[in-house]
Amino acid sequence: MTRPEADAAPEVSVVTGASRGIGRAVAVTLARRGGHVVINYKRDEDAARSALEEVEKAGGEGSLYRADVEDPEAVAGLFDSVARRHGRLDHLVANAAAGPAKSVDEVELRHLARSHAMNSQSFVVAAQHAVRLMDRSGRIVAVSSLAAGRAMPGYAAIGAQKAALEAWVRYFAAELAPRGVNVNAVTGGMIRTDSLAHYLGATGLTDGDIVPHIPKGRAGSPQEVADAVDFLLSPAAEYVTGHNLVVDGGLSISAPFCGHPA
């Protein structure tokens, strides 16, 4: 538990984009602590209800809140709901992300606006609301991307905003540290999710284009990213803030011209 064991109240966590993929794995992992997980989703209620069932089977309590995090008013409504029901918040995991798979000369202003709203603005607005509900043991984790620091085909609109997200993580970490709130990021590499499948389909890339450059010789799982998030929310990470924990099997340290067969 993040908060002192003497405090019997269960932890309250908000996970955005939690109906599938990494967000879902994070929600279920946090449920194993026995707390309450607020599962935010945008439109797929069936997937969200399935995630809620997993949360409950894992030993936690959960609730669903439908909100498009691109909309600041919807984000405010999410945290107003948390305040009314729980009166406080222990964890925010900002996982929701989206954007077009476009080359730099194909990106239009509408693509830029949406990518900013989803990948950068949504974190800032959510973190501002979250910290008002946190005590001195609050924790915030944002899910970023390798594309924040490396050019990836068709990923410019998202990658640039993920770079902005990581900058915001550092600023929030520096300014919230005196208030006892830690703010970090987790970056996944090639992680088996629906989003990865969509990206590969949109760009024409295949496993064979990427896996040979991963020293661990395989793609990662959502659970492996969730475990990293769980660490940053734990007492073991009390002195860790403003950091980006990369979970990529070594992809980001591998020279692109050197294969690493499994």
pLDDT at residue 247 in the model: 98
Q: What is the pLDDT of residues 69-92, one digit of tens each?
A: 999 999 999 999 999 999 999 999
pLDDT at residue 7 in the model: 56
d(C-alpha 103, C-alpha 223), whole Å:
30
Q: How many domains does the chain have?
A: 1
Confidence of residue 5 (pLDDT cuts 50, 70, 90): very low
Find the domain containing 147 and state its range.
Answer: 12-244
Q: In this structure, is residue 77 part of a structural domain?
A: yes
Confidence of residue 195 (pLDDT cuts 50, 70, 90): confident
Q: What is the pLDDT of residues 123-180, one digit of tens each?
A: 999 999 999 999 988 999 999 999 898 988 888 999 999 999 999 999 999 999 999 9
- CATH code where residue 169 lies: 3.40.50.720
Q: In this structure, is residue 173 part of a structural domain?
A: yes
Q: In this structure, is residue 185 part of a structural domain?
A: yes
The CA–CA distances, whole Å, from 250 to 68, 72, 188 equal 33, 36, 11
d(C-alpha 126, C-alpha 72), whole Å:
8
Global pTM reads 0.92
Q: In this structure, is residue 258 part of a structural domain?
A: no
Name the β-bridge partners of 185: 142, 244
pLDDT at residue 256 in the model: 66
Average model confidence (pLDDT) across the chain: 93
The one-letter amino acid code at 20 reads R
Confidence of residue 97 (pLDDT cuts 50, 70, 90): confident
Q: In this structure, is residue 35 part of a structural domain?
A: yes
Q: In this structure, is residue 250 part of a structural domain?
A: no
Q: In this structure, is residue 177 part of a structural domain?
A: yes
Q: In this structure, is residue 116 part of a structural domain?
A: yes
d(C-alpha 37, C-alpha 55), whole Å:
8
Catalytic sites, residue numbers: 155, 162
